[in-house]
Each structure stands twice: as structure tokens, then as C-alpha cells.
Amino acid sequence: MRKILTLLLLLGSLFMPGLAQAQTTEPPVIRNEAIVDYPQSVRFQLEVDPAFNVVDAVLNYDVTQTACLDVSTQVPVDVAGSLIDWEWPMVRSGNPPPGAELWWEWTLTDDQGNTTTTPRQTLTFSDDRFDWQTVQEGNVTLHWYAGDEVGPLLLDAAVSGLALLEEDMGIELQEPVELYIYGRTEDMRDAVLYIQDWAGGVAFAEYNTILIGVVPSQAEGWGRDTVRHELAHLVVGQYGRSCVGGHRPTWLEEGLAMYAEGEPSEQVLSDLERSQENNDFAALRSLNGPFPAHGDAAGSAYSQSYSVIQFLQDEYGIKKLQDLLLLIAGGTGTDAALEQVYGFNVDGLESEWRVWRGLPARTYPPTPTPLAVEMIPTVVPFAGPQDYPTPLPIAEKGVEETAVPQPGNSICALGLIPLFALAFIAQKSQRTKI
């Protein structure tokens, strides 16, 4: 399975004379390549003419991504002979998704103290286990290999989801996105290190890339909803990107993604009906942080979040939602941002929403309880790049052909969302340690 996928590039690249600090005989590069064993590792190899006596070599590489702080990795590599070799084990940093672009260059010093840098080279990570087909519309490119109708169908879901976000929320896709639709969940998981064993899809926000495992028989239902849901996370993430630590509360993040799925599913409607009858909606403040990942409580949290977004949209309109997202992105806390835009905090929002739904008033503690640090789960130490894993439709665990995906089950791993920045920082620090 871990076959060598992409291996390249450029033989015999000559050094750029202009970059040399002191001119010397330009060392002919016999071979300069990166051998990818995706998603496990990349082995960089540089072979220089033995006549050029390299005493010091530094490898500089990075994967192109959207990030607030993107620092390339510089690695001093031991030199023994004319073959210089170093392996990047992605097991330590998490792997980039297919489609991500790697660049690298070598800086060499010879025994006379002359330094020169090889021209920057690039390669694109790919998952060559499958014979991918591609469809594209506007800024959305979708790759798939199983079921002829799956690609066009899910591309249509993506494009219509984007249109809904734009029309109803005034939020547009800012950067192109790539979707990789695997024909089986297992195939998708094998492309991602450290993915949760219940995940059916994952969004790599920094790469604007989404991976989802969609059995062709589930494309129309679960696949369509999940594409729109995950795409909404990326679009809202682009719109509300924060480099100052602003975190959207989970009810806002997930409510917007649910809203982008389109008309509420039967599951959402029945969740809302049940909670309305039992008067057992969660305190909205408790939905600032992670949701339960499974079970009725998880479903209810999503459905309630959807309803809150529907309320804000219907009663206050697009502009205020945009203002809220941008204020939070600018580092304003959720309560303060709500106060500034709507004149109420999270508890006040819940009160208004309950009136809107015809629910009896609830009492609130006089002082809002801040989200305690201990309520945030620990980030997994490897802190891979996946931000929004989505569980499988329950049916996929059973017989595929008779599968009936649960309509409201396009659920993300909510625990990870508020930790996005932490995960990002951890990832970068891991990488720079390499």
C-alpha cells in the first residue's frame, strides 16, 4: 500500500551563479530529487560531482499552504561523500493532502568556504493508488474515481452549496478548493496519517482541500450533504481567518455549516421537534466549546446550532452575521462581539432565540461562566493538519448496497475546531524541530 508514488525531478540542474556568495567552480549536480512514499515520508537526495568537495549542506523545504505564519524548515544534513541524503518522516508532522505542493532547495558550502544554493524545485503530492478523474467549475475542482456519476453529482452539490452561502450569508469562496472523493472510507483514511478511526471525511483548512470517503450508493444523500457541510467550513474559515487567535464558538461554526447543507434534513427537524417538546435544548453557552462526537446529544447540538443561525439570519440579516465573523476573527471574544453587533451576549442570544421558538424563558447565572481551560480536550501530540473530520454515515459500517445514511449525520469532530490554532502552532513547532 505504501508504494512509492511520485518521484522526480530535474536531473542535472546547474547551480545559479548569481546566488553564489563567492564564485568557485560550479559543482555539477548529478541528481537532485525527492522520493515520496505517500503519506509516510519524503526522501531528499542530492548527488554532486565528487570533484566538488562539499563540507556543509543545508536542506530548505516547505509545503505551500495558507497560514498566518509559514516558516520553511531548514535542516543541516551530514555530508559523507558525494551523495547527500535526508528523510522527512511525515509521521512526526502529519502529512499534507494530495494536491499540496512541496518545494525544496539545497545550500552547499565547499572546502574553500564558497556557498551556493540549488534552484528551487517543486513536486505535487499525489495519491497514485487510484485512477482519478477530475471535474471543475469555477473555483471548485473535484477528483474522484468510483462511480461515473459521483463526480458531477458532488461537484453540483459543492457549487450549489457555495451559491447558498453567497446568497444567504454574503460569504464567498476566496481561494480555490480541491475535493478528493474516495470510493471507500478506508481508502481515504490510508491517505491521512493519524485520522480518527470514525472519520468519514476531513478538511485540510490550510490547504483548502477536503477528503471524503463516499461509497457511490451514498453520494446522493450523505455525500451531497457532507460535501456542502465541509465546504462551508472552508469558506467560513477563509472568510473569518484569524491570525490573532480568534475562535468561533462551535455553535456558530457548525450552525453555519449545517445551514450551508440547504433545507434542514428530517433528522434536524425531528431533533428540533423532540427538544422543543421536552424543553431540553442545551444551554447555548455550553455549545461554545466542543460538542459530543456521537449519539443523540451530538445530533441535537448540531440541530440547535442550525436553528440559532436560522434565527440570526431571519431576524437580523446577513450583514450582522458577517460583522460577527469578522469581529471574532479580529480577536474579539464571542460575548463581546455579540454585544457589539447585536446588543446581547451568548445568554441574551439564547433568550431571544427561545422567545423566537416559543420556548419558556430560562434563568442564567448572573456571571457568565468562561470556558475553562480544563474543558478543552488535549490536542493530540502529533497535531496533524486535519481540522474537521466528519464521521461516517452509520450505514457505511454495514451493507453498502442497502445503506441508508442518516440524514443529519454529517457531523464534524467538534472537539478539534476550537483547537485549530493550537494544532497549527504545534504542527509548526514540530516541523521546525525536525
Rounded to whole angstroms, the Cα distance separating 335 from 32 reads: 54
- Least Å distance, CB 101 to Zn ion, is 27
CB nearer to Zn ion: pick between 63 and 412: 412
Q: Does residue 256 touch Zn ion according to CB under 5 A?
A: no
- Least Å distance, CB 230 to Zn ion, is 7
CB nearer to Zn ion: pick between 48 and 210: 210
CB nearer to Zn ion: pick between 39 and 289: 289
Q: Does residue 412 touch Zn ion according to CB under 5 A?
A: yes
- Least Å distance, CB 229 to Zn ion, is 5
User: Interacting stretch for Zn ion, rule CB under 5 A, among 4-12, 249-257, 263-271, 378-386?
Assistant: 249-257
- Least Å distance, CB 417 to Zn ion, is 8
Phi, psi of 384 (to 5 degrees): -65, 170
- Figure out which of the listed residues 90, 135, 155, 257 binds Zn ion, where binding follows CB under 5 A: 257
- For residues 145 to 184, the per-residue mask of contacts with Zn ion, x marking binding by CB under 5 A and - elsewhere, is ----------------------------------------
CB nearer to Zn ion: pick between 199 and 219: 199
Q: Does residue 419 touch Zn ion according to CB under 5 A?
A: no
User: Interacting stretch for Zn ion, rule CB under 5 A, among 289-297, 377-385, 404-412, 421-429?
Assistant: 404-412
- Least Å distance, CB 387 to Zn ion, is 10
The residue ranges that bind Zn ion (CB under 5 A) are 254, 257, 412
